[in-house]
Amino acid sequence: MISNKRILIVVPARGGSKGIPLKNLRKVNGVPLVAAVGKIIKSLSEIDQSVVSTDHEEIASVAEDAGIAAPFRRPKELSGDRISDIEVLTHALLEMELIDSVTYDIIVMLQPTSPLRKAKHVLDTIKMLVDGAWDAVWTVSETDSKSHPLKQLIVDKNSLNYYDISGGEIIARQQLEPVYHRNGIAYAITRECLLDKKSIKGDKTGALVIKGDHISIDTERDLDLVKLILSGAISGDE
């Protein structure tokens, strides 16, 4: 608990990933991605409960071995690649409240595909939610200037144009206002936001900016980059 708020961590880890088959079981430094989340959770005494939301028996078993509860399986209708986080988190929350006979005040989503997270990132996200009276807090990273929306182009039938016409006025990157993207490290959401507003963002959303590179694994190349960062071969997060 933090400030008498009961905290549930939900680890979404379906078995049907397409880019990397059974992605959540792939190993980094010898540890399956879903188990690496368990190691983080174990270091956080403030967490009341954690659960994996999965439709896959091996993922459930590996999660349980890492200390994450797996008392239910995600139903087939919530296991496709077009199912929203809202649906998955709502199902997990209601199942765990029924199983544990308690009400959870804060739901934290930790995706296994962000293995560069640290325990401090998770705790800071939760504390920001509680201290700032936000509906939700997301961790974000500053987007590299090369990927800034005003630097992007579109091609239509071999015809080139700016994605945003304002991009034609940009001469130097110093003119670009910083923009940010989700890094998948942590999402902290109030129960009211998730169930009543049916949102993981709500009306009042805080942003915890995390410096450094935080790769969300979608491809084999992402996986290789994470391994290089963790080995110290290339620079990573701060």
pLDDT of residue 235: 61
pLDDT of residue 146: 82
Q: Are 10 and 41 in contact (CB under 8 A)?
A: no
Residue spans of the chain under pLDDT 70: 171, 233-238
Model confidence over 14-72: pLDDT tens digits?
998 877 889 999 999 899 999 999 999 999 999 999 999 999 999 999 999 999 999 99
CA pair distance 94, 110, nearest whole angstrom: 18
Q: What residues have CB less than 8 Å from 79, skipping those under 6 apart?
A: 14, 15, 16, 55
Cβ neighbours of 195 (radius 10 Å): 16
pLDDT of residue 233: 66
Element (H, E) at 231: helix 220-231
pTM as predicted:
0.90
pLDDT of residue 195: 98
CA pair distance 51, 73, nearest whole angstrom: 11
pLDDT of residue 54: 96
For the 7-141+180-231 domain, the top CATH level (class) is: alpha beta
Q: Are 109 and 12 in contact (CB under 8 A)?
A: yes
pLDDT of residue 238: 47
**Domain locations along the chain:** 7-141+180-231, 144-177
